[in-house]
Amino acid sequence: MRARTGMCIYRKTRYRTIEGTIVIIALLVILAVALSLGVVVLWQKQKKAQAGLDALSKETADKESLLKKEAMIQAKEILHNEREKFDEEVRERRQDLLRQENKLAKKEDTLEEKIQEVTDRESHLDKKMEELTEKEDYLAEMIAKQIGEMERIAGMSREEARHMLLEQLKQDLQQEQMQLIRENEAKIREISKEKAQEILSTTMQRCAIDQVVESTVSVVNLPSDDMKGRIIGREGRNIRTLETLTGVDLIIDDTPEAVVLSSFDPVRREIAKVALEKLISDGRIHPVRIEEMVEKAQEEIEEKIKKEGENAAVDMGVMNLHKELIKTLGRLYYRTSYGQNVLKHSLEVGHIAGMLAAELGANVNVAKRAGLLHDIGKAVDQTQEGTHIELGVELARRYGEKEEIIHAIEAHHDDVTANTIEAVLVKLADAISAGRPGSRRDTLEIYIKRLQKIEEIAKSYEGIKQSFAVQAGREVRIIVQPDMFDDLASAKLARDIAKRIEEEMDYPGQIRVTVVREIRTTEIAK
């Protein structure tokens, strides 16, 4: 039983194995068939794709061929059009060339005609030149004969005659030249004089500063003559104290109700005057009170000096002056020169110089500033050694003034040569202010001596007929003998006399030297 059972189991297992193998074989066959079918399908699809590609290539080739044909047609049309344009341009160029050839042909004909005319003219000129040459030879022969005849008649050679003629022409030309020079000089002198007079008159009219002649004394009015005794004091103590403190001489005489203060220092004289007026007003007059009043008067005068300097600078329009220069400038209010107030003189010089600078186109500010400061050295020349020019230059340089201002101060009395127009204008303005009538005062004796000295210097030279000092000594006119002086000698004489006057005399302003040389020729017509 067991054996049968085992055999059955074996048979069943073998049957199962066979069935599995058949299934696998069937599966393999199916797979092979499927693969074959896939290959066939793929081959068919590839064949269809190739056919589509072939059709597309054929279509593309047809389109390309069509495009090529169309492009060829368009290119032929363009080429045809361009050829027609080119042919048209060639035809136009040919027509232009034909026209140019025609013009050139006409010009050539014209040139040939002109060449023929020139040739004919040359032939004619050659004939004329031959004729002229013959005539020139004939004339040269005739001139030579005439010159020989003239030399025979005149008794001089050709060179001598030429020399005489040239000398005569030279003299005539010199006379004409001198005449033209004199006419031009006279015209220029007249125009310059008129212009100078116009400028100066305009300037003087615009600058009218009152001048008051100063003196060396001041008068103090008294309420009564009894005040004189109080001023003198017991044993003269009061008057001595006042004179000692101020340096001023008090003159108490028979003049009713007045005391005279005398001093060459105007500042001291003004201090004494103010102090005395205060004492008279206060009524208490004794040495201690006198000292107090003199001190107060000094302070007042110092303050007034400062204000006068400031007012002068403002009036002139000069800014940025050093405070010490302003103070020194104010001291000129109490300084006089030949009786002329120096501060007023400086203001006048500044105004005149500024106006002249405006007329002539110079620097107005420089001219006004230099004119205001030109005499600033006179504020300290009584207390320091040196001329007012040297002291003024030192002050201006010490307090920072520009070189052009310093130069104008230094040159306004010709201590140095004026190198700028502003310096010349300051010098001129100073002479105008100092020299005009009424500005300064000299004694009659000094005035007469100066005139005599001027005339004596002029008469000391040989060949002088007469000399006259005119215009208050501002000009000397000298009449010379015409046979002893020519034009150059007259100019030299004027220069020499001017130099001697500068060296030997002291005077304000300028002195003009005029030499007159007159020749008179008289003929009588019968």
> Please, which pLDDT band fits residue 250 given cuts at 50, 70 and 90?
confident
CA distance 365 to 435: 24
More confidently predicted of 69 and 147: 69
CA atoms within 13 A on the CB side of 392: 27
> Please, which pLDDT band fits residue 213 given cuts at 50, 70 and 90?
very low
| Residues shown for the chain | 526
Residue type for 376, please? I
Mean pLDDT is lowest, of 242-246, 315-319, 470-474, for: 470-474
Q: Which of 33-37, 152-156, 348-352 has the highest mean pLDDT?
A: 348-352
Q: Which two tokens stand for residue 464?
A: 């002088």
Residue 91 pLDDT > 70: yes
- What does the pLDDT read at residue 208? 47
> Please, which pLDDT band fits residue 444 given cuts at 50, 70 and 90?
very low
Give the residue-averaged pLDDT of 254-267. Answer: 77
Tell which residue, 493, 458, 465, has the closest CA to residue 479.
465
Mean per-residue pLDDT of the chain: 80
Torsion of CA 110, 116, 122, 125, to 10 degrees: -90
DSSP 485: -
Mean pLDDT is lowest, of 23-37, 273-287, 449-463, 466-480, for: 466-480
DSSP 401: -
CA distance 411 to 332: 20
Residue type for 418, please? A
- What does the pLDDT read at residue 403? 92
Tell which residue, 490, 488, 456, 461, has the closest CA to residue 473.
456
The distance from CA 191 to its chain's CA centroid, rounded to whole angstroms, is 25
Residue type for 234, please? R
Q: Are 260 and 251 in contact (CB under 8 A)?
A: yes
pLDDT tens digits, 405-427: 999 999 888 788 888 888 888 88
Give the residue-averaged pLDDT of 116-142. Answer: 85
> Please, what is the angle between helix 342-360 and helix 287-316, to 10°?
10
Q: Would the CA dihedral through 319, 320, 323, 326 be positive or negative? A: negative
CA distance 347 to 376: 11
Percent of the chain exceeding pLDDT 90 equals: 3
Tell which residue, 282, 289, 297, has the closest CA to residue 237.
289
CA distance 426 to 346: 10
- What does the pLDDT read at residue 152? 67
Q: Would the CA dihedral through 491, 496, 499, 500 be positive or negative? A: negative
Give the residue-averaged pLDDT of 206-228. Answer: 65
Residue 252 pLDDT > 80: yes
CA distance 195 to 1: 179
Tell which residue, 340, 326, 415, 406, has the closest CA to residue 374.
406
CA distance 497 to 501: 6
Residue 11 pLDDT > 50: yes
> Please, which pLDDT band fits residue 338 given cuts at 50, 70 and 90?
low
- What does the pLDDT read at residue 153? 66
Residue 199 pLDDT > 60: no
Q: Quick check: helix, strand or coil at residue 285?
A: coil
pLDDT tens digits, 359-389: 888 898 999 999 999 888 888 876 677 888 8
Torsion of CA 104, 107, 108, 114, to 10 degrees: -170
- What does the pLDDT read at residue 404? 92
CA distance 441 to 521: 46
> Please, which pLDDT band fits residue 118 given cuts at 50, 70 and 90?
confident
More confidently predicted of 164 and 505: 505
- What does the pLDDT read at residue 163? 76
